[in-house]
Amino acid sequence: MASDRRPNLNPIILLTPAMVSVAFLLVVPVAFVVVYSFWLRTSVGGEQPGFYLDNWVEVLTDSFYRDILFSTLRIAGITTILCALLGYPAAFFVANTRFRNKALLLLLLMLPFWISYIIRTMSWINILGVSGAFNYLLEALSLTDEPLQMLYNEVTVILGLLHFLLPFMILNIYVSLDGMDRDLVPAARSLGTTPWQAFLEVTLPLSMPGLAAGGLLCFVLGSGTYITPLVLGGPTDAMFANLIYEAIITQLNWPLGSALSIVLLLILGSVVLLYNRYLGLNQLYKSFS
């Protein structure tokens, strides 16, 4: 039979293309960054190869970097909470709507991804700027005598991150809600629970994996972004990724930028490991399936 002549391919051989891809696209670049973090930038602007701890001592002992790091985690945490509060009702609506063409709603949800993240971020300048649409509306309604300065502060940074990350939260929660057994809530109602009790005791616990997966994505992506604070933030609203950008792109200090990158990678990697330890990363895969 033809099936008897089928070669018994070794699983290692089958995994080889994926392992090689991961090695060249992830392991090797990270290894270069780690090596670079121990090099030293000379006074003439070049790099001196070797094993120097100067960059690590500066990053780990300078309160400037520590304060920016805590500020980054705080902004990412606030944005994640806001994404959860705003994203859950939207995901619940999409999952339970009686609209026949639910795919159209999902398509509208994915629509922001078709537009460049930079353009979406800069659009807030036209909305909240001194000559933007919001100030124009306030003056047209005679609510203000002069334009308000609403840009370049931490609030607009969080607003821009919320605009960027909210679809990720909605999609993850929607996947959990859409996979629920539709008979559970009616069963809970038949046992005498109110709609709110049925939501708290049935719907919310079963959707927690999606909520946690969305929270992880929003927190990690929010912590690692630099475009939003660069465009919408002020001089004191820089996030940790902005320090990496300044060190590598502006100052051409690759060793210091590499050390900063590894610090951020270790912190966010620890968050991902904790999530995988207690919740499992498989919930992330479901949202993209």
Instruction: Dump pLDDT digits (tens) for 109-142.
Output: 888 888 888 999 999 999 999 888 999 999 889 8
Alpha helices in the chain (DSSP H): 11-22, 28-37, 54-61, 63-96, 102-110, 117-128, 133-140, 154-178, 184-190, 195-198, 204-224, 227-232, 240-245, 254-278, 282-287
Q: What is the pLDDT of residue 9?
A: 67
Q: What is the pLDDT of residue 17?
A: 86
DSSP-assigned states of every residue in 252-277: --HHHHHHHHHHHHHHHHHHHHHHHH
Report which secondary-structure segment, H or E, holds 234. none
Q: For residue 115, report the phi and psi dihedrals to the nearest 5 degrees.
A: -105, 140
> Which tens digit of pLDDT belongs to each residue from 199-250?
999 999 989 988 998 999 999 999 999 999 999 998 888 899 999 999 999 9
Q: Which domains are seen in the chain, by residue range?
A: 20-61 (no CATH), 71-100+149-255+280-287 (1.10.3720.10)
> Which tens digit of pLDDT belongs to each residue from 241-285?
999 999 999 998 999 999 999 999 999 999 989 888 887 776 666
Q: How confident is residue 182, by pLDDT bands cut at 50, 70 and 90?
A: confident
Report which secondary-structure segment, H or E, holds 10. none
Of all residues in the chain, the percent with pLDDT exceeding 70 is 94
Whether 288 shows a pLDDT value over 60: the answer reads no
The pLDDT of 191-195, averaged and rounded, is 89
For the entire predicted model, the pTM comes to: 0.87
Q: How confident is residue 170, by pLDDT bands cut at 50, 70 and 90?
A: very high
